[in-house]
Structure 1
Amino acid sequence: MTIRKLFPLLLLLVSVSFYAQGESMKEKKEQIKVLKVAFFTTELDLTNSEAEKFWPLYNTFDDNQFELRHQKMRAFMRRMSDGSLDKMTEKEASSFLAQIQDTEEELFLLRKKFTQNVRAIIPASKVLKLRKAEEDFNRKLLQQYRNKGSKK
């Protein structure tokens, strides 16, 4: 493994100590974004021209995706865990399920549109590398979060 591949990983491992600190959600999100940029830059090996067009598009997509997941889906999860599911009528449950499905479809359509737009900037092989890099990054971040929690 080359130093170019190790650097973002080391940066990720060292920098995620912010979980133990009392920082705001916005600061944590910004730190994760910095780590993600470093990781993706290495994994995708974007040219300067590609990077110049890719990052604004990706950042918009990522912000929209974050908004959908953390606003709507979080509200759904709270509602499902507050004990109200057992008290819902079938009609209320059906309506709630439709809301969840609509949000999931919004996420899918957002991803689909992003993929179409990004294919005009980078080749399909790099789009696939992006999907893999997103999965790898999320897996490593989750693993670090779990490791932090088990040390307490």
Structure 2
Amino acid sequence: MSDIASIEWLPQPASTESTLLRNILLSGESLTALLQKKLGGNIKIKLLKQELCDNTWHRDVIISAEKNSHPCLIAARSLFSKTLEAATELNNLKENSLATIIYDRFNCQRQIAAYCNCNKEQFHHFWGDTITTEKECFTGRKSIFTIKDQSLTLYEFFIEHPWL
């Protein structure tokens, strides 16, 4: 899988869901086991950084998974239930597709940016735009992907993006 840059973690008010997620993630293996049941593939969880501040807590989850020899990356934000939903979504992806599934930390609206192997020079993404090149991805903001060896390499991930 590709290298993942540091992620800026922002605290948010504690809740039942975040407390549940925190307890599960601190153990690590529990989340792996649950996702293993959903995906049936090789699951690795990368917890790059965390911030615990008194009564506020927030942590995003980076999960790299391999299904049918096609690597995929999930970024599931905030809610454990959404993590499982994203895992199910990944399980239903077409073969020969690489995709990032992103959950907004506030409203959990799903946005998908997908790169299909049948078109190795362009991205097809679902942000209300048509197919764009790598440099134009996400309407001119910092590109988070680059194409290398006919695959996607994540070299930036939502750093200093006010639209998150």
TM range (shorter): under 0.3
Structure that is richer in helix per residue: 1
Give the number of the structure with larger relative contact order, counting CA–CA contacts within 8 Å between residues 6 or more apart. 1
Q: Which has the larger radius of gyration?
A: 1
Structure 1 or 2: more strand by fraction? 2
